[in-house]
């Protein structure tokens, strides 16, 4: 089968021929129809998140089942499916409690084994990790869910419990941030979006944000939201944005940290005075379990949410490696690149 692979950190990924993957007894093999090109893939390729080499990247995908293992009971060949980028083991206490996104035995295509920049990809524990696609959701749209929409949806619904009519502050209007804006609007919330980039602010406004700001000023945010937002989401990941999110909350507000806190930000402090005095909630968020996908897919199927508007470019598989390497340059837009396979 054709696949995009790299054998060394930062080596330009190449189109190669690889054997078709073996199907695990409890897994499935998918014919990949579309796969997202994500900055997480770039981090692995650049060595920021070390992976076993050689590696076929790709963890945002949709396709058709072509083989299932003998222990699979819930899925059959020919079904249209996707899967979360975190594949749970299905048997640990976290998985049994419905929290596969924090499974201690998790696997991730493109990071722990060959991913979806290929004509076929494996999904392990298929009955637990596969998600059927509604007819209304095409492969490119499903691949666009990947890190961005699924991560934002879990953060806003399961973690922060965002409700219709509440105010949400989104810090950072890249892919995750803009996805959060769109999901919040679909849920009936009001949004204040913050980003230093004029084009990012403009895009957030086009997607429904009531207010856009170049910097997170808690006093200005309190005035715009009538006393502070109920929920803040840091999609960037820095000491400054995390602290600004906390300071912008009204009493008993909820801050959810989605942006990874890396390097010098890994041990960043928070303004604990307001956290204690206002009884604020501070939580992390990581991916989304397969069991929660149907609710997100329902928003898409009934037209309340259209992830395809954030797809900036659709390319062939042969170009996916070049698009991954192109992430060395600063992003000009938050448009997602999707590689489409026939």
The CATH topology of domain 2-147+288-340 is Quinone Oxidoreductase; Chain A, domain 1 (3.90.180)
**Nearest 5 degrees, angle CA 172-CA 166-CA 158?**
70
**Nearest 5 degrees, angle CA 213-CA 233-CA 187?**
95
Write out the two tokens for 66.
Answer: 């072509």
Question: Is the pLDDT confidence value at 323 over 60?
Answer: yes
Q: What pairing do the DSSP bridges indicate for beta strands 61-68 and 80-82?
A: antiparallel
Q: Which stretches of the chain are assigned E, i.e. beta strand?
A: 2-5, 14-17, 28-37, 61-68, 80-82, 120-123, 131-132, 167-171, 190-194, 211-213, 229-234, 249-257, 281-284, 311-316, 336-340
Hey, which CATH number is domain 161-284, 2.60.120.10, 3.30.70.2860, 3.30.470.10, 3.40.50.720? 3.40.50.720
Question: Is the pLDDT confidence value at 147 over 90?
Answer: no
The string of pLDDT tens digits covering residues 227-243 is: 999 999 999 999 999 99
Judge if the upstream peptide bond of residue 54 is cis by omega within 30 degrees of 0: yes
**Nearest 5 degrees, angle CA 134-CA 149-CA 200?**
135
Answer yes or no: same fold for 2-147+288-340 and 161-284. Answer: no
| C-alpha span between 140 and 137 (Å, rounded) | 8
The pLDDT-based confidence of 48 (bands split at 50, 70, 90) is: confident
Percent of the chain beyond pLDDT 70? 98
| C-alpha span between 36 and 28 (Å, rounded) | 20
Q: What pairing do the DSSP bridges indicate for beta strands 229-234 and 167-171?
A: parallel
Q: From 38, 294, 37, 254, select the one nearest 153 (Cα to Cα).
A: 294
Write out the two tokens for 277.
Answer: 């005095």
Mean pLDDT of 205-225: 98
Q: For residue 246, give every residue at least 6 positions away whose Cβ sits within 8 Å of its Cβ, in sequence order, or none.
A: 232, 255, 270, 271, 274, 275, 280, 282
| C-alpha span between 243 and 52 (Å, rounded) | 35
Instruction: Look at residue 333 in the predicted model and tell me its pLDDT.
Output: 56
What are the structural domain ranges in the chain?
2-147+288-340, 161-284
Mean pLDDT of 249-259: 97
Instruction: Look at residue 262 in the predicted model and tell me its pLDDT.
Output: 82
The string of pLDDT tens digits covering residues 57-87 is: 999 999 999 999 999 999 999 999 999 999 9
- Give this prediction's pTM: 0.94
CA dihedral sign of residues 319, 320, 324, 327? positive
The pLDDT-based confidence of 269 (bands split at 50, 70, 90) is: very high
**Packing angle, helices 198-206 and 175-186, rounded to 10:** 20
Mean pLDDT of 270-295: 96
Q: From 225, 234, 298, select the one nearest 270 (Cα to Cα).
A: 234
Residue 196 CB neighbours (<10 A):
11
Instruction: Look at residue 336 in the predicted model and tell me its pLDDT.
Output: 80
The pLDDT-based confidence of 334 (bands split at 50, 70, 90) is: low
Instruction: Look at residue 59 in the predicted model and tell me its pLDDT.
Output: 96
Mean pLDDT of the chain: 95
The pLDDT-based confidence of 329 (bands split at 50, 70, 90) is: confident
CA dihedral sign of residues 41, 265, 101, 194? negative
Mean pLDDT of 152-158: 98
Write out the two tokens for 161.
Answer: 């419990």
End-to-end CA distance of the chain: 13
Mean pLDDT of 251-263: 94
Write out the two tokens for 280.
Answer: 């604020």
- Of the two residues 147 and 194, the one the predictor is more confident about is 194
Lowest-confidence region among 95-104, 196-205, 248-257, 325-334: 325-334
| C-alpha span between 184 and 165 (Å, rounded) | 10
Q: DSSP characters for 106-139? A: -B-BTTTB--SSBSEEEESSHHHH-EEPPTTS-H
């Amino acid at each position: 089968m054709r696949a995009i692979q790299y054998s060394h950190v930062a080596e330009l990924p190449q189109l190669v021929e690889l054997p078709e993957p073996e199907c695990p007894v409890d897994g499935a093999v998918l014919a990949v129809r579309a796969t997202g090109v994500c900055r997480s893939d770039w981090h692995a390729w650049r060595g920021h998140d070390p992976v076993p080499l050689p590696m076929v990247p790709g963890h945002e995908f949709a396709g058709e089942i072509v083989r299932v293992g003998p222990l699979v009971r819930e899925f059959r060949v020919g079904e249209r499916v996707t899967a979360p980028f975190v594949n749970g083991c299905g048997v640990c206490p976290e998985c049994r409690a419905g929290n596969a996104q924090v499974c201690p035995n998790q696997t991730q295509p493109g990071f722990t084994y060959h991913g979806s920049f290929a004509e076929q990809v494996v999904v392990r524990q298929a009955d637990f990790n596969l998600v059927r696609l509604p007819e209304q959701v095409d492969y490119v749209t499903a691949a666009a869910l990947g890190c961005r929409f699924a991560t934002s949806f879990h953060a806003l619904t399961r973690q922060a419990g965002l409700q219709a009519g509440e105010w949400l502050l989104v810090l950072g209007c890249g892919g995750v941030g803009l996805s959060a804006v769109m999901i919040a609007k679909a849920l009936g919330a009001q949004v204040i979006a913050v980003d230093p980039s004029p084009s990012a602010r403009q895009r957030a406004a086009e997607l429904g944000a009531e207010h856009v700001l170049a910097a997170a000023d808690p006093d200005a945010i309190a005035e715009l939201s009538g006393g502070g937002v109920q929920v803040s989401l840091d999609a960037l990941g820095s000491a400054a944005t995390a602290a600004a999110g906390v300071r912008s909350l009204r009493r008993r507000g909820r801050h959810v940290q989605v942006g990874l806190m890396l390097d010098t930000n890994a041990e960043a402090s928070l303004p604990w005075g307001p956290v204690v005095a206002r009884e604020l909630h501070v939580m992390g968020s990581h991916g989304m379990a397969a069991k929660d996908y149907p609710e997100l897919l329902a928003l898409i199927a009934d037209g309340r949410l259209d992830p395809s508007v954030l797809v900036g470019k659709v390319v062939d598989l042969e170009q996916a490696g070049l698009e991954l390497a192109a992430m060395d340059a600063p992003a000009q837009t938050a448009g997602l690149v999707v590689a489409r396979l026939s």
